[in-house]
Chains A and B, each alone.
Chain A
Amino acid sequence: MELNWIGPAAAAATFLGVWIGHVSVRKIEREVERIWIPSALALLFGIGLEVASFMTPNMILSTICGILGVTLLWDALELSVRQPRRIKEGYAPANPNNPRHAQILATHPRATIVDWLDRDPRGTSYAPTELDSKEGGLA
């Protein structure tokens, strides 16, 4: 039986694209002040990979470029819109040493430097009083 490596190639591109994107979006958005620069780079490289997927006649290469391209285009949206929104709403921790984040901390009451997700599930929901403290019931 002939093995078809295009499926595992698509799987690898999908998993690595999502994983690397997930980690680097959080890291880059946290550190970079002028967030439009990495956002624009992700947009450009994403378009570049899609163009490459059109140009190559090789099916596996076209698949990998097509998948990594859309994940980079998604990363551009995450960097410029979705991750800053999480910072503003306190769903992701702000970095007070980043002037852009310091501004968000000053103007958005829900923004926080606490990483709420840095804990284990406990099986019960938190009472509002537990969440009043900035440590969210951890301290």
Chain B
Amino acid sequence: MNWFGFSVGIATLFIIGLGFVWVIRGERYFGYLWWPYVMGFGALCVVGSLFVSNDWVSVLLGGFGASLIWGSTELKEQAIRGELGWYPFHAKKILPPLSNIIKKWKAPSL
């Protein structure tokens, strides 16, 4: 019996569950324009996991990075949900650097 994959699966469930929380809270106070930074940080985590020799640390870092990349593509829809009143709306957002350039890019939504 190899318990590793099952344990990793359960841990991944919690990492994804954490994604629900940070996407909702993060969008509320910071806005969806942070998406390229979140995506980039997620990609760094995934690449970084390649250089971690401990399997558990590598797996958790890789899974967390993937969840960050996924969450970055959810921020735009979450912004709309907030505007529609499905979630509390917070008008004053702490915008990211270069937000007026990012605004011209098409935000990903998968």
User: Number of residues in B with C-beta < 8 Å to the partner?
Assistant: 49
Residue of B nearest to A4 (CB): B58
Q: Which residues of B contact A (CB under 8 A)?
A: 1-10, 12-13, 15-16, 32, 45-53, 55, 58-63, 65-67, 69-70, 76-77, 79-86, 89, 91, 110
Q: Does A62 contact B5, Cβ atoms closer than 8 Å?
A: yes
In the complex, chain A residues whose CB is within 8 Å of the CB of B89: 125
- Dominant secondary structure at the A interface: helix
* Cβ-Cβ contact count across A and B, 8 Å cutoff: 155
User: Number of residues in A with C-beta < 8 Å to the partner?
Assistant: 50
In the complex, chain B residues whose CB is within 8 Å of the CB of A12: 66
Query: Given known contacts A117-B77, A125-B85, is B6 in contact with A54 (CB within 8 Å)?
Result: yes
What's the Cα separation between A64 and B12 when bound, in Å? 11
**10 shortest A-B CB distances, which residue pairs?**
A7-B49, A66-B5, A53-B5, A62-B5, A7-B62, A7-B58, A66-B9, A11-B62, A121-B79, A70-B9
In the complex, chain B residues whose CB is within 8 Å of the CB of A91: 86
